[in-house]
């Protein structure tokens, strides 16, 4: 009986993702030429690790490839690709299940810079 259970487990299809995280935003803070402000947020976002090890961000049906900057026992840091002159980085603190998502951008045309920090908690294995 154990051999049958083991054989069935080995034949089961691989999961779509190895890790699936729902990012539940609590605050969004922004800086621009008008100043610095923080607001409560109820937005959610999802990031997943596919079975091949690649990380993706999910917005609706779109999948955005993310680049791993650092992954150790304490933190997962992912770079989110951007079309603007700047950066977008997601830091997940594994022990506390908190995340910090920072975006910083500069516009040569507007001669202006701005920054956003999104703060919240991570829910593991949220429904797909």
64-107: pLDDT as tens digits: 999 999 999 999 999 988 777 889 999 999 999 999 999 998 88
- Mean pLDDT for 8-32 is 68
Report the distance separating Cα 87 and Cα 18, nearest Å.
Answer: 26
Domain ranges, ordered by start, for the chain: 15-124
Tell me the CATH number for domain 15-124.
2.40.128
């Amino acid at each position: 009986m154990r051999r049958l259970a083991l054989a069935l487990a080995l034949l089961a299809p691989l999961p779509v993702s190895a890790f699936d995280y729902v990012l539940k935003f609590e605050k969004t803070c922004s800086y621009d030429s008008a100043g610095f402000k923080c607001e409560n947020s109820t937005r959610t976002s999802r990031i997943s690790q596919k079975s091949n090890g690649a990380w993706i961000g999910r917005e609706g049906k779109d999948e955005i490839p993310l680049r791993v900057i650092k992954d150790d026992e304490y933190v997962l840091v992912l770079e989110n690709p951007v079309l603007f002159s700047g950066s977008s980085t997601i830091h997940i603190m594994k022990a506390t299940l908190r995340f910090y998502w920072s975006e910083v951008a500069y516009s040569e045309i507007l001669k202006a810079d701005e920054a956003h920090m999104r703060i919240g908690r991570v829910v593991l294995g949220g429904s797909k």
